[in-house]
Chain A
Amino acid sequence: GAGVSQSPSNKVTEKGKDVELRCDPISGHTALYWYRQSLGQGLEFLIYFQGNSAPDKSGLPSDRFSAERTGGSVSTLTIQRTQQEDSAVYLCASSLGGANSYEQYFGPGTRLTVT
């Protein structure tokens, strides 16, 4: 089956605009994760979903960042009033989510550039 897909692959936006990044996990994977990869900060955990709920939002860098997941499948990461420091590659991953299902499968990422 298909792997984790993310769209768009590249996004250029002006400072102050809102952006939405989409993640389609592997079918049947109940857990979904968002990470951010940037030159200055490396790979950072943002948020994790089990089903449609997000028990761990500790990694979201500010209240401009939010995420939701509907139907236990697709997730959207929204960044409001984008800033230049938001420029990064945003990676999504999914996993089976049950006990002993530790492998996270990563998508190719969305490269966000804020000008």
Chain B
Amino acid sequence: AQSVTQPDIHITVSEGASLELRCNYSYGATPYLFWYVQSPGQGLQLLLKYFSGDTLVQGIKGFEAEFKRSQSSFNLRKPSVHWSDAAEYFCAVDKSGSARQLTFGSGTQLTVLP
């Protein structure tokens, strides 16, 4: 069965510091991969997605992610974190290849210190 693992439940960084959120997946083929962000009281917002091609993908709000097939990883990065980035981040994998059913990781809560 496919699964998505986000090993870090909670990460704290200082404003201006760099950020990397980890995501590993277990799936037979190269899946479609997504990162979503959820701010308190808000719905999920798509940050970026990977389907194929260039393994470094750029998203909104200055985020990027790199797909590494050999490590089955799709880590999210940002060079300089802003206080407004404090939120919960979810990695997701598409089961069907058409984004009909997303399997989400358990999420990483990001705290940003002033």
Which B residues touch A58, using CB under 8 A? Answer: 101
- Assembled-state Cα–Cα distance A43/B88 (Å): 12
Which one, A70-78, A80-88, A98-106, is touching chain B? Answer: A98-106
Residue of B nearest to A48 (CB): B100
Q: How large is the interface on B (under 10, 10 to 19, 20 to 34, 35 or more residues)?
A: 20 to 34
- Assembled-state Cα–Cα distance A108/B42 (Å): 5
CB distance A109 to B43 under 8 Å? yes
- Assembled-state Cα–Cα distance A57/B46 (Å): 24
CB distance B99 to A95 under 8 Å? yes
CB distance B44 to A106 under 8 Å? yes
Pick from B43, B49, B99, B105: contact of A108, CB below 8 A: B43
Cβ of A42 within 8 Å of any chain B Cβ, yes or no, is yes
- Assembled-state Cα–Cα distance A99/B97 (Å): 11
Pick from B51, B94, B98, B107: contact of A42, CB below 8 A: B107
- Assembled-state Cα–Cα distance A4/B73 (Å): 31
Which B residues touch A18, using CB under 8 A? Answer: none
Asked whether A48 and B101 contact (CB < 8 A) given A102-B32, A102-B49, the answer is yes
CB distance B104 to A43 under 8 Å? yes
CB distance A106 to B45 under 8 Å? yes
- Assembled-state Cα–Cα distance A58/B101 (Å): 10
Q: Considering the complex, which residues of chain B in the window 3-44 have a beta carbon less than 8 Å from any beta carbon of chain A?
A: 32, 36, 41-44
Which B residues touch A107, using CB under 8 A? Answer: 43
CB distance B43 to A45 under 8 Å? no
Asked whether A108 and B46 contact (CB < 8 A) given A45-B102, A102-B99, the answer is no
Asked whether A56 and B90 contact (CB < 8 A) given A102-B51, A107-B43, the answer is no
Q: A43-B92, A105-B46 are in contact. List 9 more A-B contacts (CB 8 A).
A: A4-B43, A33-B101, A42-B104, A45-B101, A45-B103, A56-B101, A103-B99, A106-B36, A109-B43
User: Taking beta carbons and an 8 Å cutoff, which residues of A are in contact with B?
Assistant: 3-4, 31, 33, 35, 42-45, 48, 56, 58-59, 91, 93, 95, 99, 102-109
A-B interface, 7 closest residue pairs, ranked by CB to CB distance from nearest: A106-B43, A102-B99, A43-B104, A106-B44, A42-B106, A108-B43, A45-B101
